[in-house]
A and B are shown apart, each in its own frame.
Chain A
C-alpha cells in the first residue's frame, strides 16, 4: 500500500512539477517501462490539468507557427530569433495558411504598474494571507470554504492575470466594464457540491449570485448573509431569487476589506426572507473569498 502510494505520489509530483532533474528522469523512465505508472501519470494530468483554465492566455509571437510548420515539413529554420514576416514569395499556399492561422499581432507592451499600485496590491495580498479563518461562532459551524478570485487584474502583468473567472463573470452577466476587480466565491456544503457561485465586482460593489446546485424549496427562500467580525450579527444581503442569476447591489455599503474578509453564508428562510432580519435557520452553505492563484505575483521572491 505504501509502495503504491509512493508511486502514486511520484506520479502526482511529476505532473505537478515539483521533482528535481534526477527525479524527473526517474519518473520518465517509469512512464516508458511501467504501464501502471504511466496510467497514474495520465490520471494526474487530467486531475490537475483543469487548473489550466485559470492561466491567462498570452498571444505568442506569430513566428512560432511558421517555425513549427517548417519543422513539420522537416525543414529546420535558421536559428534566427527575429520574427520573419510571411512574404508573398514564400509560396502562396503556405503564406495564406500561416496568415489565416496566425494573424500577425504586433507585440503589445504591458504598461508597468505604478509603484504605488504595487504597494497597494502587496498590502492587500498580505491582508489576504493574514485573513483569519474564524469570524465568530457562526463561522465555526461553516463547512466548506473557497474558491477563486481575481485580484485587481488591472494592476498585474498581463500574463499573470487569472482571466477565466472574469470570463466566467461575463458568461454570468454582461458586465460592461472591461477589467474591474472581481472576486469569486463558491458556497458549498460538501466538497463535491458547490451550491452557489458568487461573483464580485469590487469596483462597483455589485455581486452576482449564480445558483449552481441548490434545489428550489417550495415556500422557502435562500437568503444570503455577510458574516464579519466587524458586526455582531450576520448582515442580510437579501434573498437569492428564483432565477439562476441574481444581482445584489447591497454590498455597496461595505468597504473592500470587509468584503474580502467576510464569510458568505446561505440559510433557508421562509419565503421572501427572514422575518426577523437575522438568520432563522442553520447555515446551509458558506464560503469565503480566497485565492486559487498564487498570491506571490506582486511580491519579491525569496
Chain B
C-alpha cells in the first residue's frame, strides 16, 4: 500500500514535495511523511532507544517540518539531510535532558520492524555519501568508529570516553582533529 501510494521518490520529487508543504499542501505532507517516516524513525530510535520518546520526537519533527518547510533551501541541503538534521537535533535535545537514558539502556525500543524498504532506499548511494565514506576511510580505525558511533548513537563525549576507555579530553582532541580532517578531505 505504501509502495503503491508513494512509489519511488527521487531527491527532486522530495524537493518538490517540501516546497508544496511550504505552501500548506496537506496531501504533499502526507506523501512526504510516507516517504520519509521509516528513515527518520530509524534515526531517532537509534539515539533515543525508547519507543515512547521516539514517538514524541517524531511528532515534534514533522510538526517542525510542516511549519518550517518554507525555510528549506535546496541549495544548501537535500530534503532528507534537512529532515534528518531536524529529527536528530530534537532527539539529541531530548536525550541530553534525560540523563537517565544511559548507554546501558540498549534496546527496549526495538519492537517494530520494517521489511518494506522505504521509497528513499533505492537510490541512496549518492556521490556525496561515497565521498564522505572515502574521507572517513582516511581516518584511523578508532577515530572512524568514534565519529560513527557519535553520529548514529548520539553519544556525548563523556559517554564516548567511557566506551573507548579514554579521557574525555582525549576524545575531544580526537573529535576535533577528525572533524577538521573530514572537512579538509571533503574540500567544502
**Chain A residues close to B by CB (< 8 Å):** 5, 8-9, 12-13, 15-21, 24, 42-43, 45-61, 63-65, 67-68, 71-72, 81, 97, 100-103, 105, 107-110, 133, 144-148, 157-160, 163-164, 167-168, 171, 186, 188, 191-194, 212, 287, 290-296, 301-302
Q: Could you tell me the distance in whole angstroms from the C-beta of B23 to the nearest C-beta in chain A?
A: 14
Residues of B within 8 A of A53 (CB): 121, 124-126, 129
Once bound together, how far apart are the Cα atoms of A164 and B148, in whole Å?
16
Query: CB distance B179 to A81 under 8 Å?
Result: no
Question: Which residues from 82 to 111 on chain B have a C-beta closer than 8 Å to any C-beta of chain A?
Answer: 82, 84-85, 88, 92-93, 96-97, 103-104, 106-107, 109-111
- Enumerate the 9 nearest inter-chain pairs by beta-carbon distance, A residue then B residue, closest first: A146-B137, A49-B81, A57-B38, A158-B113, A101-B30, A59-B114, A60-B41, A103-B1, A45-B85
Besides A159-B109, A167-B124, 18 other A-B contacts (C-beta < 8 A): A16-B147, A17-B156, A18-B160, A49-B85, A52-B81, A53-B126, A72-B63, A100-B30, A110-B113, A144-B138, A146-B137, A159-B45, A163-B121, A171-B123, A188-B134, A192-B185, A292-B133, A296-B163
Supply 10 A–B pairs (Cβ within 8 Å), ascending by A.
Answer: A16-B147, A17-B156, A46-B77, A53-B126, A60-B55, A146-B137, A147-B133, A148-B133, A192-B187, A291-B145
Q: Could you tell me the distance in whole angstroms from the C-beta of A280 to the nearest C-beta in chain B?
A: 27
Q: Could you tell me the distance in whole angstroms from the C-beta of A161 to the nearest C-beta in chain B?
A: 9
Residue of B nearest to A94 (CB): B26
Residue of A nearest to B62 (CB): A68
Residue of A nearest to B1 (CB): A103
Query: CB distance B180 to A5 under 8 Å?
Result: yes
Query: CB distance A16 to B112 under 8 Å?
Result: no
Query: CB distance A71 to B59 under 8 Å?
Result: yes
Query: CB distance A65 to B134 under 8 Å?
Result: no
Could you tell me how many residues of chain B have their Cβ less than 8 Å away from some Cβ of chain A?
104
Once bound together, how far apart are the Cα atoms of A64 and B175, in whole Å?
35
The A-B contact count (CB < 8 A) is: 279
Query: Binary interface profile of B, 121-152, with partner A (CB < 8 Å = 1, else 0)?
Result: 11111101111111111100100110111111
Q: Could you tell me the distance in whole angstroms from the C-beta of A288 to the nearest C-beta in chain B?
A: 9
Residues of A within 8 A of B129 (CB): 50-51, 53
- Is B34's CB within 8 Å of the partner chain A? yes
Once bound together, how far apart are the Cα atoms of A63 and B56, in whole Å?
11
Once bound together, how far apart are the Cα atoms of A94 and B77, in whole Å?
32
Query: CB distance B33 to A65 under 8 Å?
Result: yes
Residues of A within 8 A of B30 (CB): 65, 97, 100-101
Of the listed residues B5, B82, B151, B156, the one surrounded by the most CB atoms of chain A closer than 10 A to its CB is B151
Residues of B within 8 A of A163 (CB): 117, 121
Once bound together, how far apart are the Cα atoms of A295 and B136, in whole Å?
15
Residues of A within 8 A of B16 (CB): none
Residue of A nearest to B165 (CB): A302
- Is B68's CB within 8 Å of the partner chain A? no
Of the listed residues A48, A63, A188, the one surrounded by the most CB atoms of chain B closer than 10 A to its CB is A48
Once bound together, how far apart are the Cα atoms of A252 and B112, in whole Å?
36
Query: CB distance B126 to A50 under 8 Å?
Result: yes
Q: Could you tell me the distance in whole angstroms from the C-beta of A197 to the nearest C-beta in chain B?
A: 8
Q: Could you tell me the distance in whole angstroms from the C-beta of B175 to the nearest C-beta in chain A?
A: 6
Residue of B nearest to A109 (CB): B111
Residues of A within 8 A of B26 (CB): 97
Once bound together, how far apart are the Cα atoms of A15 and B58, in whole Å?
18
Question: Which residues from 53 to 69 on chain B have a C-beta closer than 8 Å to any C-beta of chain A?
Answer: 54-55, 58-59, 62-63, 66
